[in-house]
Copies of this chain bind each other. A is one copy, B any other.
Amino acid sequence: MAEKDVAGPQSPGGVGNRRATLKDVAQAVGVHVSTVSRALNPETRHLITPQIVEKIAEASRQLGYQPNTAAYSLRTNRTRTIGVLVPDITNSIFPPIIRGLEDTLTPRGYATLVVNTDGQFEREVAILETLFARGVDGLVIASAEREDSAIRAVAARGTPVITVNRRTDDPSIASVINDETEGVRYMLNHLVALGHRNIATIAGNQALSTGQRRYEAFLRHAVEMGLDVSPTRVGFASTFNEADGERCMEELMARGGGFTAVLCANDRLAIGAIMALRRRGLSCPGDISITGFNDMAMVDRIDPPLTTVRIQQYRVGAAAAELLLERMTKRSEIGKPQHIVMPVELVVRGSTAPPAQTSGNAAATRDLKTATRPAKVSVRSV
């Protein structure tokens, strides 16, 4: 509870009330502003006599000199600012990505301007407009759709851009995403190991790479595993949220069921699915196992704790920042990977269990196999 004490970020010198400028430092040392500029810039410091550099450094410290960002930008056309587009910062999968970005960008002198698109294309366009007006040096886009003409326009314009979490279908747009395919495979493996043979899925928005890739992986691997993937066991969500999960689950059950597990394209859909189940008086995982994707904050504490695929949000952000920095400095270094896929891991919790043995009270479950397998695994790393 001790008072926080500090010299404080207020004028620790300066001239009068103004912030100190290069000219002030130059005057103090008795050299020209250009000399000060060079001395203070690591790139050009070597041009200046070490003693003078020292004197300049001292004086600028004394005066509390801080370069004027506006002047720097006006002159160099660079702002050391990165625009970050997210669908909605309120969706808890994005903040960790943003921190990953910030934590690697800030030490390099870059600031991030985070804006919300709410998944609306017109907003995305308008936002990009204002970001360009502010002269961002690069863009990180977490709101990318598979066909995203706005992003293509940005790239065509020459602004370094990278998508995170999702990617566009255009391979020339750099990206950092998660290994959706493997994630789905792990999950199917897990369900099959528990004894499930009749697995439905609630797929996400197919206009987003996450939705599309997870669904595609489901189809591919389910077939490989010899599972029945009839279209009646597929629900398509358009919004990746709880309401849509609920709706899709109801649809699936209305179509007659016959499945013992539902693989959902993300955690929020899974939560909705569980609610729908409950409303019908069914239990998870007693009657039906439900799985998520992302491992959002708190899904380990909900009832039942969600079995899901953990993605490395923070590291996705950090990797994207690194990649972007490279593309902004070394001019389009060839040979560097343009697409990074981060590994994911399966997290087994309470929302999955072996299929019910009896045809019991679960209206949606029929066609049960008898196979039973190891009941519970803790967090399994892959």
Contact = CB atoms under 8 A, between A and B. Distances in A.
Contacts of A9: 125, 128-129, 132, 150, 153-154, 157
Given A89-B89, A302-B303, A303-B301, A4 B99 contact: no
A133 interface: yes
Interface in A111-136: 111-116, 121, 125, 128-130, 132-135
A289 to B, nearest CB: 18
A11 B303 contact: no
Given A11-B157, A153-B6, A135 B69 contact: yes
A377 interface: no
Contacts of A68: 74, 133, 135
Given A121-B4, A302-B298, A156 B69 contact: no
A156 B10 contact: yes
Contacts of A125: 6, 8-9
A88 B95 CA distance: 9
Nearest to A124: B4
A256 interface: no
B67 A70 contact: no
A141 interface: no
Contacts of A19: 132
A129 B66 contact: yes
Interface in A57-82: 66-71, 73-74, 79
Contact of A207 (B1, B88, B92, B157): B1
A134 B73 CA distance: 11
A148 interface: yes
Contacts of A71: 70, 74
B113 A66 contact: no
A98 interface: yes
A301 B271 contact: yes
Contacts of A301: 271, 298, 302-303
A90 interface: yes
Contacts of A224: none
A70 B3 contact: no
A151 to B, nearest CB: 9
B6 A150 contact: yes
Interface size class of A (residues with CB under 8 A): 35 or more
B298 A4 contact: no
Contacts of A90: 95-96, 99, 297
A19 B132 CA distance: 10
A145 interface: yes
A106 B126 CA distance: 11
A206 interface: yes
B99 A89 contact: yes
A89 B98 contact: yes
Contacts of A88: 99
A34 interface: no
Contacts of A132: 9, 19, 66
A153 B10 contact: yes
Interface string A1-34: 1111110111100000001000000000000000
Contact of A111 (B3, B70, B113): B113
User: Which 5 residue pairs of A and B lie closest in terms of their CB atoms, listed nearest first?
Assistant: A8-B153, A70-B73, A303-B303, A298-B298, A70-B74
Given A5-B149, A70-B71, A298-B299, 15 more contacts: A3-B149, A6-B125, A6-B149, A8-B153, A70-B135, A74-B74, A89-B89, A89-B98, A90-B99, A99-B116, A102-B115, A271-B301, A298-B298, A301-B302, A301-B303
